[in-house]
Structure 1
Amino acid sequence: MRTKHRTPRDGSGGRWTYAAAGAAVGLSAWVGGRAAAPSDAWYASLDKPAWQPPARVFPAVWTPLYASIAWSAGHAVNRARGGERRALVAGFGTNLALNAAWTWLFFARRSPAAGVWGALLLDASNLRLIRRVARSDRKAAAVLAPYAGWCAFATALSASLTRRNR
């Protein structure tokens, strides 16, 4: 069942919700980025599959994906109320924490295998989040689809790196 768009009662038009979502996404990207070092000697030494994109592709893809997560969160949370709103905030928060954790598992621990486990948890979180968002805001859920697809690709890439570098 679709709900009608409701403007927050404070008259802000939801600006604060979008700002908070953007800040949360930015924090997640920053925390994850502290661990990512694709140019370090360890990562450079890994045997990579031919289908791995060049390093310059990753920031070019992640920037619009992070923007889409922030927009989706702001849009969905603005439309939700009560327990549904709290569940969405918790779902996005959990997802962003898992997103940031992946780079720590893979790069900081220097463990493609740990990265696979983190990626699988993130994939499960993505599916759950999309289902939850779709209950009240199908447009915001659809915007998350490319993010989920890229994360699934990252899971496959992590699994390939694990197999190739045992």
Structure 2
Amino acid sequence: MQLSSSRSTPAQAVGLLGWLGLVFVAAALGAVASMEAPTFYAQLVKPGWAPPAAVFGPVWSVLYLLMAVAAWLVWRDPAAWGRGAALALFVAQLAANALWSWLFFGWHDGALAFVDVLLLLGLVVVTAVAFWRIRPAAGWLLAPYAAWVSFASALTWAVWRANPGLL
């Protein structure tokens, strides 16, 4: 499959590394707030459908990788209409993503974490649509992320409501 881009192969590689770096910096910022997450998560009353704490790391690692590749695919098309706005939406959802960890795990604020995860879900969906319009594969790469954030929204609500003393 031929990918259109006016950028050289070295610039493409640097671009991919840049998007991977940005995404994993956002992940690291969230991880700082989540240092005590396994202990805190173990204390919480959770619904029966909540995954064990060990599931979150691998799932998020794959999702972050898919997100970076999606952004890179959009970035590769400098002439695409709406590219700047789509990438700005991507950065905004990254910020909302990192903020959730601080709200939930760092500051134990379930209400604001729930508001944030709903905002995140909206931003992910809008970003996926914007990406899809530029490069359909990029939009599809965000589909697992949108599905996971939908699940995370329900889980955030359920855990917050079941733990009024902790969240």
TM over 0.5: yes
Change over 3 Å in CA distance of 1:133–1:80 after alignment to 2: farther
8 Å Cα contact 1:8/1:14 also seen in 2: no
Aligned partner of 1:85 among 63, 83, 86: 83
8 Å Cα contact 2:80/2:134 also seen in 1: no
C-alpha RMSD of the superposition: 1.7
Matched, 1:16 2:14: yes
The code of the aligned residue for 1:149 comes to A
Matched, 1:6 2:1: no
8 Å Cα contact 2:128/2:142 also seen in 1: yes
C-alpha distance in structure 1 between counterparts of 2:85 and 2:79, whole Å: 10
After TM superposition, the structure 1 = structure 2 runs for residues 17-166 of structure 1, keeping only pairs within 5 Å, are 17-36=15-34, 37-40=36-39, 42-81=40-79, 84-166=82-164
C-alpha distance in structure 1 between counterparts of 2:41 and 2:129, whole Å: 35
C-alpha distance in structure 1 between counterparts of 2:137 and 2:119, whole Å: 24
C-alpha distance in structure 2 between counterparts of 1:144 and 1:30, whole Å: 20
Q: TM-score by structure 2 length? A: 0.89
| Structure 1 runs of 4+ with >4 Å offset | none
8 Å Cα contact 1:80/1:136 also seen in 2: no
C-alpha distance in structure 2 between counterparts of 1:69 and 1:114, whole Å: 24
Which runs of no fewer than 5 residues in structure 1 stay unpaired?
A: none
1:7-55 deviations in whole A, cap 9, x for unaligned? 2345535222211110110100000000012223x44322111111011
C-alpha distance in structure 2 between counterparts of 1:11 and 1:49, whole Å: 48
- Alignment length (residue pairs): 162
Task: Report the secondary structure of 2:37's partner residue.
Answer: coil
8 Å Cα contact 1:77/1:88 also seen in 2: no
Identity %, equivalent residues: 33
Which runs of no fewer than 5 residues in structure 2 stay unpaired?
A: none
